[in-house]
Amino acid sequence: MDLHSRSVKDLPGPKGLPLLGNLHEVDLKKLHRILEDWVNMYGPLYKFRLGTHPVVVVADTENVQQILRQRPNIYRRLGAIETVFLEMGITGVFSAEGNDWKRQRRLTAHALDAIHLREFFPILLRVTERLRKRWMMHADSGATVDIQQDLMRYTVDVTTNLAFGYDMNTLEKEGDVIQDHLQKIFPMINRRINSPFPYWRYLKLPADHALDAALKAIQQAIASFVSQGRVRLAANPDLLTHPTNLLEVMLSARDENGGVFSDVDIHGNVMTLLLAGEDTTANTLAWTANYMVNQPEIQTGVQTEVSSLVSPTGMLHSIQNADKMEYSEAVANETLRLKPVAPILFLEPMQDVTLSGVTVEKGTSIFLLTMHGGLQDSNFQEASQFNPGRWLQPTTTSGCPFNHTPKAFLPFGGGPRFCPGRQLAMVEMKMVMAMLCSQFEIVKVDGPKPVTELFSFTMMPQNLLVRFKARNRTGA
């Protein structure tokens, strides 16, 4: 067969059943691992079917990089994502395409730039101090803690301050908090975009009703924040030229034609930042904690690095000190390599394209496995091992692996749609790591179930239980 005449139907892949395709083999909570297992069986370019709908899976680094570079002109997010997000009222930069994306991207990138991060640093300190006090109470009581849940509260508080200028303070509250509503959204996004039929438009299950209630509560909260933001702008016109948070940036901004951003744009982008900021950073920090309890030398390494960079209560003296945390950044990068929050990107081509000699027609679902390259020994020596030293210069660590392929490391995506929140996420991670390792030792708790990966549009840990032991009682 002529290589250049191949089509999607010629690709290898699991056989499937009539009408059902491979639905019976796909557990959405383990989707990323199932797709990785099929790479081992069928190669880095294969197909499977969700019902009668074909899906092309792309795992090799070169094709993944090519596709990411060609966004947003040739590839876009899966059309089902835009539809599902629209139905949920999430219409921000994440799901936007074309010129609409470019317009909103400039806005969010500006709000998350280094200048705004420096201005936001005192708030990060305040929220990190609250997390320290919460963990000190856990240490005093000897409680077993689901650390991911505490970190979710932390990132919600950071994000609501950044996005709205509103101090949600879920760290010092118990009971019903906005985090409880946010946690219902990603699993339902995962279910709906991978459903062969939009059942929820005709018959809603209990999970769909719970989602509706969560979305209503979040939208009501956002509407209140927007209203308060407009009041602040009216009372203080200086905020029009010197906004202090993303909401004020959006309320005062004008697009390239001089027009204001619509309420739909504003609500959608605030919701997007809430979801992205709450989920991704918290889960990466939780996975980092899991590696620390299994390899205590990592805790020791961070403790040593930050000893001269933090106050007696574990707070960084300045945001510039975050740049000095090279070992901690290496730990964060190694976590992101092995446990990326977004191991799959769901895309489709806007025209017929060719991948490795295979013609893929316009509108075909393409699942990019962004995690795959980082797990290959050909890209990272002893890739299955957690080794922060691979991210450091050979002169600063012994045994630094020879092969190290940065282009295979894609936790924040790549190309023009590279995640604009990377700087904020890295500063948050370093601040929490500095506080955690200078103030506490964390030890593993063997719960009734092992720690496992759960995929729900993003990938997170389940059953990650720890205990805190205080190292420094200053300021307790």
**Domain-embedded: residue 475:** no
**10 Å Cβ neighbour count for 41?**
10
The bridge status of strand 365-369 relative to strand 53-58 is parallel
The pLDDT, as a whole number, for residue 128 is: 96
**How many helices and strands (H and E) does the chain possess?**
14, 13
The pLDDT, as a whole number, for residue 312 is: 94
**Domain-embedded: residue 341:** yes
Question: Rounded CA gap, 282 and 287, in Å?
Answer: 9
The pLDDT, as a whole number, for residue 395 is: 41
Helix axes 114-141, 147-164, angle to 10 degrees: 150
User: Encoding tokens for residue 204?
Assistant: 């809603």
Reported as half-sphere exposure (CB side, CA atoms, 13 A), residue 156 has a value of: 20
Helix axes 206-235, 147-164, angle to 10 degrees: 40
Place of tokens 């709908």: 53
The pLDDT, as a whole number, for residue 226 is: 86
Q: What is the DSSP letter of 165?
A: S
Place of tokens 């459903």: 195
Residue 400 has pLDDT above 60, yes or no: no
**Domain-embedded: residue 476:** no
Least confident range of 101-105, 159-163, 308-312, 372-376: 101-105
CATH (domain of 152)? 1.10.630.10
Name residue 160's beta-bridge partners.
Answer: none
Report the candidate in 418, 361, 415 with the shortest Cα–Cα distance to residue 47: 361
Question: Rounded CA gap, 284 and 425, in Å?
Answer: 9
Query: pLDDT exceeding 70 applies to what percent of the chain?
Result: 87
* Radius of gyration from C-alpha coordinates of the chain: 23
Question: Rounded CA gap, 279 and 320, in Å?
Answer: 25
- Do residues 355 and 80 touch, judged by C-beta distance below 8 A? no
Quickly state the pLDDT bin for 161 (edges 50, 70, 90): confident
The bridge status of strand 452-456 relative to strand 458-462 is antiparallel
Question: Rounded CA gap, 343 and 107, in Å?
Answer: 26
- Do residues 326 and 297 touch, judged by C-beta distance below 8 A? no
- Name the average pLDDT for the chain: 86
Stated pTM of the model: 0.87
- Give per-residue pLDDT as tens, 106-130: 666 666 667 777 878 888 999 999 9
Sign of the dihedral through C-alpha 40, 44, 49, 50: positive
User: Encoding tokens for residue 187?
Assistant: 């699993």
Quickly state the pLDDT bin for 34 (edges 50, 70, 90): very high
Output 275 or 321, whichever has higher pLDDT: 321
Question: Rounded CA gap, 166 and 123, in Å?
Answer: 11
Question: Rounded CA gap, 437 and 304, in Å?
Answer: 9
Quickly state the pLDDT bin for 185 (edges 50, 70, 90): confident
Q: What is the DSSP letter of 365?
A: E
Using DSSP's 3-state secondary structure scheme, residue 313 falls into: coil
Query: How many structural domains is the chain composed of?
Result: 1
Helix axes 147-164, 263-294, angle to 10 degrees: 150
Phi, psi of 469 (to 5 degrees): -120, 125
The pLDDT, as a whole number, for residue 124 is: 92
**Domain-embedded: residue 132:** yes
Output 278 or 135, whichever has higher pLDDT: 135
**Domain-embedded: residue 251:** yes
E-only strand ranges, 276-373: 344-349, 353-355, 358-360, 365-369
195: CB partners within 8 A, 6+ apart:
none
Mean pLDDT of 314-324: 94
Q: How far apart are the first and last CA of the chain?
A: 72
Cα 167 to chain centroid, rounded: 22
Q: What is the DSSP letter of 73?
A: T
- Give per-residue pLDDT as tens, 330-381: 999 999 999 999 999 999 999 999 999 999 999 999 999 999 999 999 999 9
Question: Rounded CA gap, 106 and 125, in Å?
Answer: 27
User: Encoding tokens for residue 426?
Assistant: 């890295």
The pLDDT, as a whole number, for residue 441 is: 94
Output 36 or 194, whichever has higher pLDDT: 36
Residue 65 has pLDDT above 60, yes or no: yes
**Domain-embedded: residue 71:** yes
Domain range for 150: 3-470
